[in-house]
Chain A
Amino acid sequence: MQLKVNGTLRDVDVEPDTPLLWVIREELGLTGTKYGCGIAQCGACTVLVDGQPTRSCITPAEMVEGTEIKTIETVEDTETGRKVVEAWVEHQVPQCGYCQSGQVLAATALLAGTPAPSDEDIDVAMVNLCRCGTYNKIRAAVRAASEA
């Protein structure tokens, strides 16, 4: 099948129900997207599908044919993504960093749709787990990026 990832159409030869996560990591070699739980609990595997944050570990590849898939590797291609990354650096958000690809993409999607989010908007959008407990820095960085 063909998947459009980071702007490029890629041919992949996988079982149609292979989770997008493993197509991205193993077939396309883009390892910035992480495996944490495999059951849509943690959000480490978040990618953007047509701009929507999507848990790729439970998303069958066949379901996203014909969509625009964006992974962390190209997050800085958009103005919003750049702002988010800069805010992440400025606020020194990551600790171990393992959850952060997903956090950065979730924030980018939020701000792309809602440039000036309320606290509630942030609560609703930023639900990925972080075992290192960077939640306060994440919130501060989202705020900063929205004001940048």
Chain B
Amino acid sequence: MTEMSFPGSRPLNLSRRGFLSGTAGLVLATALPLRPARAQEAAAEAGPPVPLFLAIRPDGTAVLQSPFIEGGQGIYTALTQIVGEELDLDPAQFEVVPAPPGAPYDVMGGFRFTGGSSSVRSSYELMRRLGASGRAMLIEAAAARLGVPASELTTKPGLVVHAASGRETGYGDLSEAAMELAVPADVALRDPADFRWIRAGLKRLDIRGKSTGQAAYAIDVEVEGMLSAAVQHAPRLGLGPASVTNLAEIEAMRGVHSVHLLDGAVAVVADRFWQARRAVEAAEVEWQETGAEWPLPADFSSDGYRASLLAQDGPGLEVEAEGDAGAALAGAGTVIEAVYGAPFLAHGQLEPPSATARFNADGTLDLWLPNQAPEMFLAAAAETAGIDPSQVTIHSQMLGGFFGRHFLYRTANPFPQAIQLAKATGRPVKLVWTREEEFLRDAVRPLGTARFRGAVMADGSLALSAEVLGEGPTGRWYNAPAGEDGSAHEGLTGKPYAIPNRRIGHVYADNPAVIGYWRSVGHSMHDFFYEGFLDELAEAAGRDPFEMRQALVAGSPRHVTLLSEVGKLSGGWQRGPYQAEDGSTRARGVAMASPFGSEVATIAEISVDGGEIRVHRVWVAIDPGSIVNPAIIEAQVQSAVALGLSQTLVEEYIYEDGAPAARNFDSYDILRPDQMPEVHVAIVESGAPMGGIGEPGLPGVGPAVANAAAALTGRRFRTLPLSGHDLSAG
């Protein structure tokens, strides 16, 4: 995989091109060379450049057009810290808005993703240069105004300062003149030792609005003259509506405007969403088979699919190897074998998906929707509407949770239906999927399973062979060929351990379900498989799992430090079982993961109460190389631990007879407040290239908990969720 080099990374001055309507003053654009965050493994061509914009208003405040979408991960705040640091403007003086995609911004047109925990790390250097260029231009404008050489000028936050004469000029007064200037070819960046805002735990920009009900999401969009719509999806993907047998009755219901037979769904458009929903749920629909691209077989089930995976023969395509695992295992005294597995999962982001579509008098289309990849949505929307992409405007909205839900997944996004309904009614239409319809069409985390064989060799070294079975989302959506789809094996590959004889194979097998990215993607299950099996090998070797990991990473100072940090954070490693102060018997498990460019070590402490696991404390040491905002990192790790624990303990999306069994949170458990453990986070800055933050806290949680459960009960739990096992029996 090659990093794309992009010639135009010098910011362009776009002030006169009127790109930021309603904003006078200095406008800078730079282009972000972006590798599609996940498709990078697909060896897909790198996306074209994506510009981002910075404008300084006459009042001295700044508007930053963010190429990434805010969904609670704190990206807007982090960007203001980085740009503000170099621009010399207090991050609190920024307003951040999502940058619009595609045409008519002719320097744009590329792809960008909010995903792969990549937003800050992929844009860090460019954002710094953007801020520094702005500062240099403001200084130059001030030099002309004051009639002094630029070299005599400095800045302090929001002001250009001429120390010799004691004169100061606000950025706002200079922005118009700065607008006339060329972007400097070369700008000096601030010495990290002098950082004031980067690396500070600044408060986030969006918190007060989110604490007072003022934050608006896609579901809150209202446009003049709009109607509201609700759908009833076919119970199984591949069916479509033949007719609504009680059509007259539905049409006569209060507020109903019209009833529509769509691809795979029936829709009711009404004055109000509640009226539309009530009507569409009363619709009696006759469903029939259609020529859908991915029909779900009528007998499709999670159990059946798992069995079909396990029936696949290995060894699969080799995706990582060292030494000769086959020979080592053939010569080993005792070979340990185990099969690990994890179920399909729903995203369960709390905001149900929606889309508002409006065709304008000139034939153009405006769309308001949640999305993690605006250019892709724009292209797909244009195709659905049958118009040129230049005629589509996407209004990206703040995300009420995403976790991978808002990528472009055919059959899993509401906007094509909204476009059709707006076209059919000649009115703007807001379509909201009810939670039930969302469960029916979510793009789920794939069910996965892996077979392991391993041994402790006579010299104490390990030999390991693993075969992971199934299909990854990058293969599905970005055509990554089997063997090159990291999402199908990450977490089994890329581990930090010195195992001289090992082989990881990927046995590709189609997944009939519509699969998607879920927070930490392949890592969300593969690290659970691997780290569990590693503990089994430790047991076979008669070694402590923490001490064995220390030995296995001894050659990597970064990992040695990380393990020792998490050990310290937890008050010193102890496996247990031991008696806690409250009288409960507890044990601990440890796991390591290397997701998205960061390194993570996790320890979990559990007890068993009434046959159920209770997780008391989780300690996470995370090394993202270098950091922008420690408070945001801590919050993201808390959040990732919660989601990781949720899937470890309770989550399971089960297919039966071609449809999901659960349609809402009454039958699909997610982590409750009383199940949340204490979480302690240590941030380690090794100085390695910047890694991700949003996802890395997740993968270590499952194996740390399961390994603790093994220490406590003497039994191995090789499938998730753990609520599927009876722990009292042990």
Interface residues of chain A, those whose CB is within 8 Å of chain B, are 15, 18-19, 22, 26-27, 29-39, 41-42, 44, 71-73, 75-76, 85, 88-89, 92-101, 104, 123, 126-139
Q: Determine whether the beta carbon of B274 is less than 8 Å from that of A129.
A: no
Q: Known: A35-B219, A41-B665, A85-B212. Is A98-B350 also a contact (CB below 8 A)? A: yes
Q: Determine whether the beta carbon of A92 is less than 8 Å from that of B631.
A: yes
- A-B contacts at CB below 8 angstroms, number: 170
CB < 8 Å: which of A41, A72, A99 contacts B666? A41
Among A42, A94, A139, max chain B CB count under 10 A is at A94
Q: Which residues of A are found within 8 Å of B214, using beta-carbon distances?
A: 32
Q: Which residues of B are found within 8 Å of A75, using beta-carbon distances?
A: 212-213
CB < 8 Å: which of A38, A89, A96, A135 contacts B350? A96
Q: Determine whether the beta carbon of A98 is less than 8 Å from that of B638.
A: no
B326: min CB distance to chain A, Å: 42
9 contacts between A and B (CB under 8 A): A26-B273, A31-B222, A32-B213, A94-B206, A94-B211, A98-B217, A100-B211, A127-B674, A135-B671
Q: Which residues of A are found within 8 Å of B210, using beta-carbon distances?
A: 94, 96-97, 100
Q: Determine whether the beta carbon of B434 is less than 8 Å from that of A89.
A: no
Among A26, A44, A85, max chain B CB count under 10 A is at A26
Q: Determine whether the beta carbon of B349 is less than 8 Å from that of A131.
A: yes
CA distance A104 to B214 in the complex (A): 13
Which residues of B, 254-293, contact A by the 8 Å Cβ criterion?
Answer: 254, 272-274
CA distance A97 to B671 in the complex (A): 17
Which stretch, B529-537, B572-580, B639-647, touches the partner chain A? B639-647
Q: Which residues of B are found within 8 Å of A138, using beta-carbon distances?
A: 673
Q: Known: A72-B212, A89-B211, A129-B670. Is A137-B71 also a contact (CB below 8 A)? A: no
Q: Which residues of B are found within 8 Å of A33, using beta-carbon distances?
A: 213
Decide yes or no whether B435 CB sits under 8 A from chain A.
yes
Q: Determine whether the beta carbon of A99 is less than 8 Å from that of B350.
A: yes
Q: Determine whether the beta carbon of A96 is less than 8 Å from that of B72.
A: yes
Q: Determine whether the beta carbon of B272 is less than 8 Å from that of A39.
A: no
Q: Known: A92-B631, A96-B401, A97-B206. Is A132-B639 also a contact (CB below 8 A)? A: yes
Q: Which residues of B are found within 8 Å of A100, using beta-carbon distances?
A: 210-211
Main secondary structure of the interface of B (DSSP, over half): loop
**Assuming A26-B273, A132-B72, what are 10 further A-B pairs, CB within 8 angstroms?**
A32-B213, A37-B666, A39-B666, A42-B350, A73-B212, A88-B207, A100-B210, A127-B672, A132-B642, A134-B635
Q: Determine whether the beta carbon of B643 is less than 8 Å from that of A133.
A: yes
Decide yes or no whether B65 CB sits under 8 A from chain A.
no
The chain A residue with its CB closest to the CB of B668 is: A41
Give chain B's interface residue range (CB within 8 Å of chain A).
35 or more
Main secondary structure of the interface of A (DSSP, over half): loop
Decide yes or no whether B4 CB sits under 8 A from chain A.
no
Q: Determine whether the beta carbon of A136 is less than 8 Å from that of B679.
A: yes
CB < 8 Å: which of B73, B213, B641, B643 contacts A101? B213
B123: min CB distance to chain A, Å: 20
Q: Determine whether the beta carbon of B399 is less than 8 Å from that of A96.
A: yes
CA distance A107 to B638 in the complex (A): 20
CA distance A94 to B632 in the complex (A): 11
The proximity string for B residues 426-463 relative to A, scoring 1 for CB distances below 8 Å and 0 otherwise, is 00000010111000000000000000000000000000
B663: min CB distance to chain A, Å: 10
CB < 8 Å: which of A35, A36, A92, A133 contacts B676? A133
Q: Which residues of B are found within 8 Å of A96, using beta-carbon distances?
A: 71-72, 210, 349-351, 398-402
Q: Determine whether the beta carbon of B211 is less than 8 Å from that of A22.
A: no
Q: Known: A44-B350, A94-B206, A95-B72. Is A31-B672 also a contact (CB below 8 A)? A: no
Q: Determine whether the beta carbon of A36 is less than 8 Å from that of B211.
A: no
The chain B residue with its CB closest to the CB of A15 is: B254
CA distance A53 to B635 in the complex (A): 27
Q: Determine whether the beta carbon of A133 is less than 8 Å from that of B207.
A: no
Q: Determine whether the beta carbon of A136 is less than 8 Å from that of B211.
A: no
A74: min CB distance to chain B, Å: 9
Q: Known: A19-B274, A35-B219, A71-B213. Is A135-B71 also a contact (CB below 8 A)? A: no
Q: Which residues of B are found within 8 Å of A128, using beta-carbon distances?
A: 673
